[in-house]
Amino acid sequence: MTQPSPSRSAALQGPPPDCRLCPRLVDFRNENKVKFPTWHNGAVPPFGPADATLLIVGLAPGLRGANRTGRPFTGDYAGELLYPSLIKFGLAKGVFGAEADDGLTLVGCRITNAVRCVPPENKPTPLEQKTCRGFLAAEIAALPALRGILALGSIAHTAVLSTLGLRKVLYPFKHGAVYSFEDKLNKPLTLTDSYHCSRYNLNTGVLNEAMFHLALKSAITATRPAS
């Protein structure tokens, strides 16, 4: 593959680790740098190849997960279902070791977050969600092979719709829903919804492995041209 241009590389990389756009998140990062000096403690870059056909969008880095390891969904409960599921469906190769250096690679898929810096109590404010949206828009535009997006939870769903200029009333969040539309360049794109694979959702039965696998399968199918 040819190297992406510098502006495309930047779009694929997301904000710099020391992004200062959201004052509350910068303050939280600085507190965490003092408490946990060996952790990543910065905006977490997306993970996966630039030729991905499927983009998985999460909420935001978990404090002890992605904010510690520097890789989305790595090191906390939410990754324990996501990564083995990606391996099962051929979207990841290797062994998931819950650390950024476990050697796992993604195949045709990429994982990113609606908000790139860890928020206190896992709750980004509406303004923080809006402020971070430009990075998702740039990433989507920088993925020429992209055909489908899997939104994990309603915040990711809303971020994708806003990024694409689509109205939420026309595309309500619903686990298992698959929506088809065109992106800003008139390219066909699908959005599949799943409940977030958080510890809370899994422990309360809002989501289980079978439900997650069904949504993931739908998202994968939706990236393939109809035969």
The footprint of ligand URA (CB under 6 A) covers 58-62, 65-66, 72-73, 76, 78, 113
State the minimum distance, in angstroms, from the CB of residue 186 to ligand URA: 30
State the minimum distance, in angstroms, from the CB of residue 59 to ligand URA: 4
- Side chain identity at 70, as an amino acid letter? G
CA angle in degrees (0–180, nearest 5) for 108-72-221: 30
Question: By C-beta, is 63 or 181 nearer to ligand URA?
Answer: 63
Question: By C-beta, is 171 or 195 nearer to ligand URA?
Answer: 195
Query: How far apart (Å, rounded) are the C-alpha atoms in residues 60 and 119?
Result: 7
State the minimum distance, in angstroms, from the CB of residue 60 to ligand URA: 6
How many C-beta atoms lie closer than 10 Å to residue 126's C-beta? 9
Question: By C-beta, is 15 or 61 nearer to ligand URA?
Answer: 61
Question: By C-beta, is 24 or 181 nearer to ligand URA?
Answer: 24
Query: How far apart (Å, rounded) are the C-alpha atoms in residues 14 and 164?
Result: 17
Query: How far apart (Å, rounded) are the C-alpha atoms in residues 74 and 95?
Result: 12
Question: By C-beta, is 60 or 164 nearer to ligand URA?
Answer: 60
Residues 6+ apart with CB under 8 A from 169: none
State the minimum distance, in angstroms, from the CB of residue 105 to ligand URA: 17
State the minimum distance, in angstroms, from the CB of residue 103 to ligand URA: 19
Residue nearest to ligand URA (CB): 58
**Secondary structure tally for the chain: helices H, strands E:** 8, 7
Q: Give CA separation, 160 vs 17, 47, 52, 74, 180, in Å.
A: 22, 17, 16, 22, 13
Closest-CA residue to 194 (of 179, 210, 216): 216
Question: By C-beta, is 6 or 126 nearer to ligand URA?
Answer: 126
State the minimum distance, in angstroms, from the CB of residue 61 to ligand URA: 5
